[in-house]
Amino acid sequence: MILTVTLNPSLDRTVVVDRLVRGQVLRAQSTRLDPGGKGVNVTRALLANGVPSRAVLPVAGAEGDQLVGLLDAERVATDIVPVSGRTRSNITVAEVDGTVTKLNEPGPSLTVEELDLVLDRALAGASPGGWVVLCGSLPPGAPADHYARMTERLTAAGLRVAVDTSGPALAQVLAAGPHLIKPNAEELSEAVGRPLGSRAEVVDAAQELRGTGVGRVLVSLGPAGALLVDGSGVTVGESFAPSPRSSVGAGDAFLAGFLAALHVHGDTSNGSTRSALTQALAWGAAAVQLPGSRMPGPGDIDPAAARLLPDELLRGRLAEPLVGTG
């Protein structure tokens, strides 16, 4: 069982337009409403591919009730923590050329007692020795070190912790020693305080974060693929998405694919983590080609859409400038 924790979940509405023009009235080609939040999406992707998972999330108000209804309709296993306020709604405007504009609400503030209750639910529901995935932004007003505190409690309980967040929350969690972090290039750049213009610079930054006590750094690079830096070295991969539609949730599907491979095949060897990166890339490529934040199932995923770079190509590719990462 892989448990996910989303402290700031959302309703995600996607509106598809031909072209976004500021200040004009536009007619939508289509719309869809999905349950949202990084951890929620990770659980949705895992369950869609037969990997046991449960999402722990706080919900509030009528929007929270609607979110629960959407999750129930998808048969997503959840552990709901009722809180005060109103669950946020996010809007994605997707243009037909693949350009995505996102408008994210801040979400409700959680009290100390509510934050503690979410952690207690995660500790109670996690499988011994299993993964707990802490995902997304912190709620407004939550201390920047809250994920760090959660990581310390979870690892002390014998659980493996993966973290996908950004900004001060990412910077603070590093010293707590999570087993895995999954930044994108922009988030990694912010964490080390310098621009990253090539894969080689991304590798250096990832190794710097590993030096703080992080077990693995899994970096998503958008169209430039992804790379993994861990105790076995550096692994770089690429993926192919011939018909991109929406990048929303693609990073969550990517992380889910990586964790799913480790859950099924174990992570005791370099070979297992290499195959996990390949699977992660294939799941992410599949998600990019689906509407809104729909998560890919087995029928959507093409294993041939991803590959790892052989050693003889790696040196040259590391020096190439990054373009279009995020």
Q: Catalytic residues, which ones? A: 252
Q: How does DSSP assign 205-235, residue by residue?
A: HHHHHHTTT-SEEEEE-GGG-EEEEETTEEE
The Cα 94–Cα 32 span in angstroms is 11
Spell 63-73 as b/e; 16+ CB within 10 A means b: bbebbbebbee
Closest CA to 282 of 296, 266, 264, 294: 296
Q: How does DSSP assign 264-307, residue by residue?
A: HH-SSSHHHHHHHHHHHHHHHHHHHTSSTTPPP-TTT--GGGEE
